[in-house]
Every structure is written in C-alpha cells, then in structure tokens.
Structure 1
Amino acid sequence: MGKSSKDKRDLYYRKAKEQGYRARSAFKLLQLNDQFHFLDDTNLKRVVDLCAAPGSWSQVLSKKLFNDTTLEQQNERKIVAVDLQPMSPIDHVVTLQADITHPKTLKRILEIFGNEKADFVCSDGAPDVTGLHDLDEYVQQQLIMSALQLTTCILKEGGTFVAKIFRGRDIDMLYSQLGYLFENVVCAKPKSSRGTSLEAFIVCLGYKPPSNWKPRLDVDFSVEEFFSTCNLNKLQISDKLQDWHEEERKIAPFMSCGDLQSFDSDATYRLDDFKGDSILSLDPVQSPTNPPYKKALELKRSGKLTRAI
C-alpha cells in the first residue's frame, strides 16, 4: 500500500478544503496578516497578487477587501492577480495570464487601476525546487527581484510588499537591498509554514524609493540594469581603488506568526481527535485548469488512445 503524501496528512491541507481555499498557503497570508494587519486597513483599495496561481492568496484578499463592505467601497476596490498559468475565476478578482517582467503587464495593471498606484503587492511564487538548496535559493531570489521590479513601478509611496523567500547564507544581501527601498523589513515565519522548510516571508513596510529614481520596466533590461540608477547594490569607493569596501549588510528581525493555539504544520493529527468533526472525504476545491493528462483524456474519449499490444 502506498503512503499518503505529507500534504494529505497535514491538517492545514484539510482545513483549506473545508473552508473553500484552493491551497493550504491561504493560512500563511492569514497568519501574516494577524501579525502585521496590512489587510485590515480600511484605506486599502488597490491590491496586486503576483505569481498568484492557483489563487489561494487572491481568495484571502477578496474576502478581506470585499466581505462586509458597502457597495460604494466595493466599487473603489480592485484586486489584480497575475500568473503565467491560467487561473479559474475568483470573485472580485481580475486575473491576468501574463509575464510579471513584461512592460505590457505593468500597463494593463495600471489601466485596471485607472493609472493609480497600488497600496499592497504580494507574491507567493516559488520555483519548482530541485533539492539543491544553493540553486533553489538563487532561483527564488531572482524571482523575488523580478517581482520587486514590477512592484517599484506600481506601488505607491508608503505601500507594503510581501513575498516568499528561501533563507540561505546570502539572504542578508536581499535584506539590505529591500532595506534601501522600504522603511521596515521583517522576516516572518507563519506556523502554517513547515519548520523543516527554508521558506519564510519578507514583509516590507513603508515603500520609500529614492526621490530622483524613476523605475522603468524594459524587457531588454536585466535586473542589475533596472536597479543601476537606484544604487541598490552601491559600493563606497575612495580615491584609491584598493580601499573600497562594500556597504554593511543588514539582518532583518525574525518573527514567528500565528497564534500559540494554531496547528503545527509538521505534526500529523488524527481526525477522530477533533470531537464533533465529521470525517468525510472532501473533493478538491478547484479542478485543474490545464492538467497534463487533458490531452490523453481527449484522445481516450475519441477512441484514438488504445493500449499497445
């Protein structure tokens, strides 16, 4: 008999299905908000969810911004979710299947916002991990910097940026770079994020770009070229070349998020331990939008897929 996957033994996996979320990652954003309250601001009107598929963070954003609100407030608020993968519709969310590094994506978001800047930008994106930690950390950091490029173009001054990171030995360089653009940078670990994972979240509060810097997204610009006029990786160099030294790196404070009574994501819970809870087999919240086996099913239904003899 095959073993059940770790996801299916995880209580957050089941709770996500019970509460209608497409993925257990919804609880990560909820627990981050419990600590920092960035989604509880009544002035929050324009929100962008980058690398959004399958859409659990967008579901949280939709509930936070549109539940218990007046029609006037709903007309003022807009959520845009962007991903290269297709996403099934979510109430009050405009989904864009687009590349976050392309200027056309930036233009489309600004059009939806009526050329107003966003109040909040988040990204829960991550690469398909290889198990080679150094490689995974490098690719994840490049993804964060790509999300940061778009963020600097659409986030209003004083806004908030939240993104997934992989903590590695060079993560302090990322802290320093983000600290140059935000007033306060905190590394947070929700209880719904497994303790055995390198995953954490960077919460950047109070966007403060240099007054003389005008970010411009260009498909032909590398990340280094994009931030070159911002001095994000600046060095302090004296008249003598051999006397140069790199600016001191910063360490972001670390914070654990989630109530002490929250479930442990690394523990396995027995369903019959929760008295009163019915033990039912739950269907998926959302079927795959473009599963890899879709073509095979079409061939089978048309009688064109037969077993080789």
Structure 2
Amino acid sequence: MGKSSKDKRDLYYRKAKEQGYRARSAFKLLQLNDEFHFLDDPSLKRVVDLCAAPGSWSQVLSRKLFQDERATADRKIVAVDLQTMSPIDHVTTLQADITHPRTLARILELFGDQKADFVCSDGAPDVTGLHDLDEYVQQQLIMSALQLAACILKPGGTFVAKIFRGRDIDMLYSQMGYLFDRVTCAKPRSSRGTSLEAFIVCQQYNPPSGWQPRLDLDQSVQEFFQGCFRGSDSPDVGPWHETPRDIAPFMACGSLDSFDSDATYHGQDLQGDSDVPRRSLDPVQQPTNPPYKQALELKRKGKLTRAV
C-alpha cells in the first residue's frame, strides 16, 4: 500500500499500515474468521493461499497459525501467485500458475503428500468496468482455484474465495454445493458496500464418492468436473448440465462497532481524538515488481520526456 488520499479517508487502509499488514484486505479475512472460526481450529496444520500477492492474507494466516510459540513444526503455509512476493514469516511462497499440475505436485511435496485443511483465494482480475465481463472472468478464476482445491483439500476441509455477486451467481452456489456440505455468501464490514465483492465460504468438503479430481492442462473445466453430479449414474452429467439453482445464505461479517469502509474520516486517530495530528505512514512493503518499474528507470535516465 502506498501513500494516497485513502490514507486520510479509509481507516482500514490506515489500520493495516499501523498493524503491519501489506493491504487492508487482511481485515476481510479476519472478519470472516470472526464469524466462521475456520482459523481457530487447533487441528489446522496445512494451509494454501492462492493468488496471494501482495501477501496480506498470508500474513493473517501466519499470525493465526504461529501465534503460539509452541506451535507444532508440522504446520505449513504455502502462498501461490504469478507475481513475486516478499518473504513472510512461516510462509513458503511459490511463483507459479495455479492451473498447472506442477503447482499441485509442488504443494503436495511441501505438505509431505498430505492433504490441506484450508484453501483460500483473494484473487480478482483487473476489472474493466464492464460488469458482465468482470463477473465472467472472476468466476473463471474461482473455478481454477476450486479445481486445485478439489485436488488438495482433505474431507471436511474449508475453501474461501472472493466472488463478484451478479445475475448468475446462484449457479456458482449450486456448483459449490456438490462438493461442500455448507455454502455461505459473506460480506465483511471492511469490504466496501458500494462494491459487488463478497466471499463464498465453503465448509465441510465432501466430494461425491468415486469421483477422482485430476488437474490436466488439456481438459476443460466441464471435463474436470465430469461425473461430479450427485445422484447421477451418467458420466456425462456434470454441474453445468441442467443444474438446479440455489441461493446461498447471506451473512454480514463484522460488528456494528467496526469501522465503516464507506465512511470518510478526517482529522481523527483510531480512538476518535480529533486533536491528535495525523502523520503519513510509509508502505509496509514496497512493491516487488510494479508495472511502472520500467517507466521509473527510464525517467531516472532522462529517457522519459513529455512530447511537446
């Protein structure tokens, strides 16, 4: 997170800096956990954070799993992203593609060929402003994360992913319902109310008996989930063929005492004292490979000039 006018307006943005988080999205996972308690389970040992950069969710996972100095050595956190990430305590980072079988094999290798207890994804595409297109691309990203999760989650595991609520989101809820006993749509208070963003919390992983998920670059999403439709004897029937649509329960996470992510806060600290001057805070972690890096290098060399 860099310096901007948000530093004066958004208290979650400022709180993230003050508490050492790389992004305000850390509070979304914390508020989801306050409601669902998936990170409070003492048996939680193996965790995967997909689309992890810049790493705020990985920071939350590290602090939760290793807050006790007596934490067992078999607890492992793996963060995966196409972008480079700066190191985080107790987190193994992989710069890899979540759709590639080699990534799955590498994670299983790090886990000693044991399945994961928890998989999460806070990934989102670069939005275009065309809502239908953005929702479609986001759902494809979710399905990619779900494919890896289906291969690596143990029975009873939990999967949490960012979604964009739209016209066809109930179809996604139905598809998740074939793999998990409980599916909930949750909106943390730190997520701006003006945004279509929400999170799908899938608990108690329970895939159909006899279905063996397998990542393959040459197969489509439909082929991956072929035979996953419960109650059907036909191998050609899957969640995308005449699937009954469900509406997942909607839950708001975060108490009314929490800060309002859409509110504007001027001239007051986190305790509400307007007499305390505010100082600007530096980013917790500088970008490792920002898209404007080349432009900065050209500017330093005097090769980036404005045309007259």
Distance 1:26 1:137 in 2: 23
Using the alignment, how far apart are the partners of 2:194 and 2:232 within structure 1?
A: 34
- Out of 134-143 and 268-277, give the one that drifted further: 268-277
Larger helix percent = 1
Work out the CA distance in 2 between the residues paired with 1:192 and 1:93. Answer: 25
In the alignment, what sits opposite 1:140?
138
What is the correspondence of 1:1-12 to structure 2 with a 5 Å cutoff? Answer: 5=5, 9-12=9-12
- SS for the counterpart of 1:44 is coil
Distance (Å, rounded) in 2 between the aligned partners of 1:119 and 1:142: 23
Are 2:261 and 1:265 aligned?
yes
- The equivalences for 1:44-123 within 5 A come to 44-70=44-70, 73-123=71-121
With normalisation by structure 2, the TM-score equals 0.90
Q: What is the CA–CA distance in structure 1 between the aligned matches of 2:233 and 2:276, rounded to whole Å?
A: 59
Q: Where does residue 242 of structure 2 map in the other structure?
A: 246
Displacement after TM superposition at 1:10 (Å)? 1.2
Aligned with 1:255 (options 251, 256, 271):
251
Closer/same/farther in 2, CA of residues 74 and 271 from structure 1, 3 Å limit: farther
Question: What stretches of structure 1 move > 2 A for 4+ residues in a row?
Answer: 4-8, 231-236, 245-248, 292-301, 303-309
Give the superposition deviation at 1:9. 1.8
In the comparison of the two structures, how many residue pairs are matched?
A: 295
Question: In the TM superposition, what are the counterparts of 1:124-139 in structure 2 within 5 Å?
Answer: 124-139=122-137
- State the 1:300 CA deviation: 5.0
Residue matched to 2:186: 188
Using the size of structure 1 for normalisation, the TM-score is 0.90
Q: String of CA shifts for 1:109-155, please: whole Å, max 9, x gaps.
A: 00000000000000000011111111111110110000000000000
How far has the Cα of 1:270 moved from its partner? 1.8
Any conservation in 1 of the 2:208–2:230 contact (CA below 8 Å)?
no
Aligned pair in 2 of structure 1 residues 137, 235: CA closer, same or farther (>3 Å)?
Answer: farther
SS at 2:227 equivalent: helix
Conservation of the 8 A alpha-carbon contact between 1:235 and 1:246: no
Which runs of 5 or more structure 2 residues have no equivalent in the other structure?
A: 235-240
Partner of 1:42: 42
Unaligned runs of 5+ in 1: 237-244
Identical residues among aligned pairs (%): 78
Q: Distance in 1 between matches of 2:24 and 2:138?
A: 20
Q: CA 1:226 to 1:9, structure 2 compared with 1: closer, same or farther past 3 Å?
A: same
Partner of 1:175: 173
The CA distance in 1 between the partners of 2:261 and 2:204, in whole Å, is 31
- Name the SS of the counterpart of 1:271 in structure 2: coil
Q: Show CA shifts across 1:137-188 (max 9, x none).
A: 1110110000000000000000000000011111110000001100000000
After superposition, the CA RMSD in angstroms is 2.2
